[in-house]
């Protein structure tokens, strides 16, 4: 299994996050953990942290392989993910943000539908009843609106299209071409997966959201861009 982690200006959290990923519980079917971390040209000292970080030995003695890369200029989450995908070698890929909002302790729940042979793609939903920090009302309204708009075009019934946690079989990437450089990755991936007709599952996850003072980056402009991406990849870029 490969965990792909795009990173931008997360020097305060990324080492802790990587420790949690390296120690995360995994199903018996997962024999090796590959961590692929891509720095999106951070300016806060993130790269030296990534260069010096080393995984500790796992209690279950599974091997942990680490691949590090750095984009020469800041291009966005989608570009960093594409770079990471090109390096990842696992049969299952899992996307992990570099902050501490999403907890690697949820990996068994996220992986179970694929390991059990029920799913090809799994979304970890923040809105299916898992424990979560209570934060911004208008953010939740925005997330619900973007998910609803995406569902209208994709004919999926997701509750959280914008979630970071997307897990999928590696061969999914052989069947789609991803283009978005920034947060448009989320609606683009969803639109293109929907057109494949593969089995999509959703599972509840915990969510430990941040305030802007704590480092949250996404804002209203990203919401507007997401609407454009939903229309673009569901209507005007279907092929």
Angle at 69 between CA 65 and CA 72, to 5 degrees: 180
Confidence of residue 141 (pLDDT cuts 50, 70, 90): confident
Cβ count near 85 (within 10 Å): 17
Residues 103, 21: contact at Cβ < 8 Å? no
Angstrom distance (rounded) from CA 136 to CA 200 = 28
pLDDT tens figures, 188-232: 999 999 999 999 999 999 998 655 455 455 665 767 877 888 998
Domains in the chain: boundaries: 2-236
Across the strands, what pairs with 167? 94, 122
Higher pLDDT, residue 80 or 137: 80
Three-class DSSP category at 144 = helix
Angstrom distance (rounded) from CA 54 to CA 221 = 36
pTM: 0.90
Residues 173, 94: contact at Cβ < 8 Å? no
Provide the pLDDT for residue 188.
96
Check whether 134 has a pLDDT greater than 70: no
Check whether 128 has a pLDDT greater than 90: no
Residues 216, 209: contact at Cβ < 8 Å? yes
Angstrom distance (rounded) from CA 231 to CA 130 = 30
Angstrom distance (rounded) from CA 158 to CA 127 = 10
For the domain spanning 2-236, the CATH number is 3.90.550.10
Angstrom distance (rounded) from CA 34 to CA 227 = 33
pLDDT tens figures, 72-84: 999 999 999 999 9
Which one-letter DSSP state was computed for residue 132?
A: B
Of the candidate ranges 6-20, 33-47, 119-133, the one whose mean pLDDT is the lowest: 119-133
Angstrom distance (rounded) from CA 171 to CA 81 = 16
**Helical segments of the chain, H only:** 14-22, 46-52, 77-87, 107-115, 137-154, 185-196, 220-231
Q: What is the mean pLDDT of the chain?
A: 90
């Amino acid at each position: 299994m490969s965990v792909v982690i795009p990173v931008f200006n997360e020097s305060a959290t990324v080492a802790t996050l990587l420790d949690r990923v390296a120690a995360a519980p995994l199903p018996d079917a997962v024999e090796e953990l590959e961590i692929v971390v891509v720095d999106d040209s951070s300016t806060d000292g993130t790269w030296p942290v990534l260069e010096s970080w080393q995984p500790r030995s796992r209690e279950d003695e599974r091997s942990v392989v680490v691949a590090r890369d750095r984009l020469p200029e800041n291009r966005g989450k989608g570009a960093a993910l594409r770079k990471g995908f090109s390096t990842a070698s696992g049969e299952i890929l899992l996307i992990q943000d570099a902050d501490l909002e999403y907890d690697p302790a949820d990996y068994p729940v996220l992986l179970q539908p694929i390991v059990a042979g029920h799913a090809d793609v799994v979304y970890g939903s923040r809105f299916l009843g898992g424990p979560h920090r209570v934060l911004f009302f208008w953010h939740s309204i925005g997330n619900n609106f973007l998910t609803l708009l995406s569902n209208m075009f994709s004919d999926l019934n997701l509750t959280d299209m914008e979630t970071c946690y997307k897990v999928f079989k590696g061969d999914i990437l052989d069947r789609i071409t991803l283009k978005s450089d920034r947060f448009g990755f989320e609606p683009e991936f969803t639109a293109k997966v929907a057109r494949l007709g593969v089995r999509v599952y959703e599972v509840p996850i915990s969510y430990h959201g941040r305030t802007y003072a704590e480092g949250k980056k996404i804002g209203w402009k990203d919401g507007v861009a997401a609407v454009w991406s939903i229309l673009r990849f569901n209507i005007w870029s279907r092929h």
